[in-house]
Amino acid sequence: MYGYPQEPPPSQVANPALSDAIRAFAGGVMGPEDFYTVFNSAKIYCPRGEQPGFLALHDTPEPVIPMFSSLTELRAYSGEESRYFTVTGGEVLDLLPTGYGIVLDIEGEHRIVFDAKAIEQMTAYAMQRLYGA
């Protein structure tokens, strides 16, 4: 319509970067549902070991898996020559072993930890969104 701004199609609306969503969620500016929406489709960088699968930290109260919002964040933790693989946040929830939490951007200024219970809640929310109540 002439004279009125038109909304861009949904495919052209940019989602916030995962690092921005982590910062907003940790600061209480973004709610859990909105964070989940960003996390679910975000590219997650994971350190890669000799064997397939996630590398866990076991020197914490419960085991957590370090994951990163960008290659820059991963390199700050693992070094410039470190090996890695990528998955989406949705794939993380699908593949993460029971009883493990995750720590996003462990060396970053916006580090956030989701314990195993929080991961269970995120997974339950994902199932509810996919399959209904």
Determine the pLDDT at residue 7. Answer: 39
Query: Is residue 17 one of the residues assigned to a domain?
Result: yes
**Least confident among 3-12, 37-46, 84-93, 106-115:** 3-12
CB within 8 Å of 32: residues ≥ 6 apart: 25, 125
Query: Is residue 4 one of the residues assigned to a domain?
Result: no
Structural contact between residues 56 and 95, judged by C-beta atoms closer than 8 angstroms: no
Query: Is residue 3 one of the residues assigned to a domain?
Result: no
For the chain, state the CA radius of gyration.
17
- For position 35, which CATH number holds? 3.40.1350.90
Predicted confidence (pLDDT) at residue 75 exceeds the cutoff of 50 = yes
Predicted confidence (pLDDT) at residue 8 exceeds the cutoff of 60 = no
Which tens digit of pLDDT belongs to each residue from 21-67?
888 988 889 988 899 999 999 999 999 988 888 999 888 889 999 99
Q: Which of 70, 82, 65, 83 is nearest to 109 (CA)?
A: 70
Q: Which domain holds residue 51?
A: 10-131
Predicted confidence (pLDDT) at residue 108 exceeds the cutoff of 50 = yes
Determine the pLDDT at residue 95. Answer: 92
- Please report the DSSP string for 91-117 in residue order: HHHHHSPTT-EEEESTTSTT-EEE-HH
Query: Is residue 1 one of the residues assigned to a domain?
Result: no
Task: Round to whole Å and give the CA distance between 101 and 118.
Answer: 8
Query: Is residue 5 one of the residues assigned to a domain?
Result: no
Query: Is residue 113 one of the residues assigned to a domain?
Result: yes
Determine the pLDDT at residue 132. Answer: 79
Task: Round to whole Å and give the CA distance between 87 and 42.
Answer: 8
Tokens matching residue 132:
């209904």
Q: How many domains does the chain have?
A: 1
Query: Is residue 87 one of the residues assigned to a domain?
Result: yes
CB within 8 Å of 30: residues ≥ 6 apart: 21, 24
Query: Is residue 93 one of the residues assigned to a domain?
Result: yes
Task: Round to whole Å and give the CA distance between 105 and 4.
Answer: 42
Tokens matching residue 74:
């991963």
Determine the pLDDT at residue 115. Answer: 92
